[in-house]
Amino acid sequence: MSKAFASQADLEEKQVSFTQLSDHAYAYTAEGDPNTGVVIGDDAVMVIDTQATPVMAADVIRRIGEVTDKPIKYVVLSHYHAVRVLGASAYKPQHIIASQDTRDLIVERGEQDKASEIGRFPRLFRNVESVPPGLTWPTITFKGEMTLWLGKVEVKLLQLGRGHTKGDTVVWLPQDRVLFSGDLVEYDATPYAGDAYFQDWPQTLDNIAALKPRSLVPGRGAALQGEAEVAKGLAGTKAFVSELFASVKAGASAGQDLRRVYRETVERLKPTYGGWVIFDHCLPFDVTRAYDEATQYPDPRIWTAERDQQMWASLEG
Ligand SMILES: [Zn+2]
């Protein structure tokens, strides 16, 4: 029997945790579903990645309300993916902040990505009708680095290199040594790499490690607390990305077609990574992008709902 497309068969609700990591940082995590980060400053709250819909974001807002009555003024988008950004309107923020590279991706492929992501993983878009028409637009963009002061709390937004997308932004609290990585780092969850830069990603992870975070909130999976857990999360993501790209490059340079490279790469990776959530969902997209990067496409091609289905049929059919 062929596999159900992407995550259309994944219907099981996950348990949410809201974990305090430092004086100012909280992690909203859900057993491998997309995470949201929260920074509580002296005078305002910042939310990092919004959840997929305003109805889902309402649960984040409820949790924040249980620990502070300060207003949510800022939303930061770690990258452009729909599942991270479409809940933004619920927070009624004064500002939505993203890298210029992330805004460029929203302009170039935001609409296609929205249709594609909703089709791939309906459960993650609970009450999708609550998403306002159109896209989530940043009101402030930056290049490379930006610092916000929430009172005396320093919040750095950093582009440490390309990886999961070209616009990846991490949020770093130097005083608390807490880092919010977006999908650059995953834990017990498979990195999605359909829009990735495989060549660059490992160095970007080394740049995160160089900050020496004490806690790290990954894009998916439990919050990592303590330097040993942080190192484990970084190493696991780096190993997955490196092994997948090495496998695909070897097949491509031997002249193998994508379908064969896909089969062999899945076989190679499954014993180590097959237990991570969304492994079966991600691998066809990840291998397709890696094959593109290893052959003729330095930049990721745009995924549309139609291209998703064609790719799936050609690799899994
Ligand atoms: Zn993503």
Query: pTM for the whole thing?
Result: 0.96
pLDDT of residue 2: 63
What is the C-alpha to C-alpha distance for residues 263 and 282, in angstroms, rounded to an integer?
Answer: 14
* Radius of gyration in angstroms for the set of CA atoms belonging to the chain, rounded to a whole number: 19
pLDDT of residue 4: 80
Question: In this structure, is the dihedral angle defined by the CA atoms of residues 296, 2, 236 and 60, taken in order, positive or negative?
Answer: positive
Contact 268, 243 (CB under 8 A): yes
Summarised one tens digit per residue, pLDDT across range 200-215 is 999 999 999 999 999 9
Summarised one tens digit per residue, pLDDT across range 136-183 is 999 999 999 999 999 999 999 999 999 999 999 999 999 999 999 999
pLDDT of residue 281: 95
59 Cα–ligand 1 center, Å: 21
Residue type, 310: Q
164 Cα–ligand 1 center, Å: 7
168 Cα–ligand 1 center, Å: 9
pLDDT of residue 229: 98
126 Cα–ligand 1 center, Å: 17
233 Cα–ligand 1 center, Å: 17
165 Cα–ligand 1 center, Å: 8
Stretches in the chain below the pLDDT threshold 70:
1-2
pLDDT of residue 1: 47
